[in-house]
Amino acid sequence: MRSLKKFSIVLLAILGISLLLYGCTGYDDNLQKVGMLVEHSVHDNAWSKEGYQGLRTINEELDTEVYYKEGIQTKQEVIEAVEEFANNGVNLVFGHSNTYGKYFVEIAPSYPEMHFVYFNGGEFGEDVTSLNFNSHAMGFFAGMVAGKMTDTDEVAVIGAFEWQPEIEGFYEGVKYQNPTANVHIRYVNSWNDTKKAMRLYEQMRDENADVFYPTGDLYSAQVLKEVSEDGLYGIGYVTDQSSIDEEQVLTSTVQHVSDLYVRITEKFNESKLRGGVLTFDFQDGVISMGEFSPDIPEDFQEKMNGAIESYEETDLLPNEQ
């Protein structure tokens, strides 16, 4: 069985966090301990790192023990991990992938003392909540930037899966800003297949694409590094990836996953979390655009900021107004 990872008092001491903050977890409300399941490693990619950071923040700010288990992919592995969580007093479980939805719905009735949370799915139950990012809008704004900054009128998406709303949003944003631009879309059919993503990048680069939006957890950074080396433009994904190249990375579509972890945990502790499908967007403060490249004209940066503010106020994208 894969080992259960726990942030203990010893770990807190190593991290330089005051032991006085740890103390007793004597909550008057619902929260006892928190667990998280990840399919691979918490250090694999930007998405996993954000979840891990969310768990650390819960540990530090909410003064509760947290656990995580890596490499949990099959139903049997989920069952064993949840049973281990239960034996350790965990009553709030995060599954850091849409894969966990169907498993959580099946096993939740056997753990009435637990609430289960996962991401980006439509399955739910009385004690199962799905958290969804409304990523269509962030894709739209990324598309506007790409449509503005392309010199060849050829832009490209290296998508993980066809169902990603940000891809459709990106297409619409490009066409809104630059109707003459062509949008090349190809799919890796994986969040993590960097080799295939790089092959697709090379193919579309050879087709004269000069702005790229890689929408996959593990391969996004690698594609952007290659974009930088080739003197082309890219748009970051999940986190602000401007540190790769502050000029060639035009902006990023940022999902503040760790903040959402804390918000949901607080909601559970206050007895306000219900089973269902919850959707979050710019208006909720958990999606934003990253830093703009200095290569983007200042007047267009102002236009983008105005469009985002208008969307936050009206729920209408520029092409809907």
Residues 128-172: tens digit of each pLDDT: 999 999 999 999 999 999 999 999 999 999 999 999 999 999 999
pLDDT mean over 82-94 = 97
Model confidence at 5, pLDDT cuts 50, 70, 90, reads low
Say if CB 276 and CB 72 are below 8 A apart.
no
Which two three-digit tokens encode residue 313?
Answer: 């106020």
Residue 79 neighbours by CB under 8 Å, 6+ apart: 103, 107
Which is it for the CA torsion 88, 92, 95, 98, positive or negative?
positive
Q: How confident is the model at residue 44 (pLDDT cuts 50, 70, 90)?
A: confident
Which has the minimum average pLDDT: 36-50, 224-238, 259-273, 290-304? 36-50
Give CA–CA dist 265/303, Å, rounded.
Answer: 36
Lowest mean pLDDT, pick from 7-11, 26-30, 151-155, 243-247: 7-11
Length of the chain counted residue by residue: 321
Lowest mean pLDDT among 28-37, 187-196, 236-245, 256-265: 28-37
pLDDT surpassing 50 at residue 25: no
- Select the more confidently predicted residue: 311 or 191: 311
Q: What percent of the chain has pLDDT over 90?
A: 87
Burial class of residue 57 in the structure, from the number of CB atoms within 10 Å of its CB (0-12 exposed, 13-18 middle, 19+ buried): middle
Asked if 250 and 259 count as a contact pair (C-beta separation under 8 A), the reply is no
CA gap 198, 216 in Å, rounded: 12
Residue 238 pairs in a beta bridge with 254
Output the CA torsion sign for 40, 170, 292, 253: negative
Question: For the chain, what are the domain ranges?
Answer: 5-133+257-284, 135-255+291-320
- Dist CA 15 CA 3 (whole Å): 21
Calculate the average pLDDT of the chain.
91
Q: What are phi and psi of 175, to 5 degrees?
A: -65, -30
What pLDDT score was predicted for residue 30?
86
> Of the candidates 233, 280, 248, which has an alpha carbon nearest to the alpha carbon of residue 117?
280
Which residues are CB-contacts of 21 (< 8 A; sequence separation ≥ 6)? 12, 60, 63
Q: May I ask the CATH architecture of the domain 5-133+257-284?
A: 3-Layer(aba) Sandwich (3.40)
| Mean pLDDT score, 19-44 | 68
* Segments in the chain forming alpha helices (H): 9-14, 46-61, 75-87, 100-107, 135-149, 165-177, 194-206, 219-229, 257-269, 298-314
Question: Which range, of 18-22, 74-78, 104-108, 262-266, averages the lowest pLDDT?
Answer: 18-22
From the options 3.20.20.70, 1.10.340.70, 3.40.50.2300, 3.40.630.30, give the CATH code of 135-255+291-320. Answer: 3.40.50.2300
Residue 9 clears pLDDT 80, i.e. is over it = no
Neighbours of 84 (CB within 10 A): 17
- 């799919």: which residue's tokens? 187
Is-contact 173 211, C-beta < 8 A? no
Residue 10 has pLDDT above 60, yes or no: no
Backbone angles phi, psi at 92, to 5 degrees: -135, 120
pLDDT, tens digit, 9 for 90 and up, residues 243-268:
999 999 999 999 999 999 999 999 99
Instruction: Tell me the average pLDDT across 187-216.
Output: 96
Name residue, tokens 């993590």. Answer: 192
How sure is the predictor about 3, in pLDDT bands with cuts at 50, 70 and 90?
A: low
Q: Hey, what are 253's tokens? A: 């579509």
Rounded to the nearest angstrom, the gap between the alpha carbon of residue 41 and the centroid of all alpha carbons in its chain is: 15
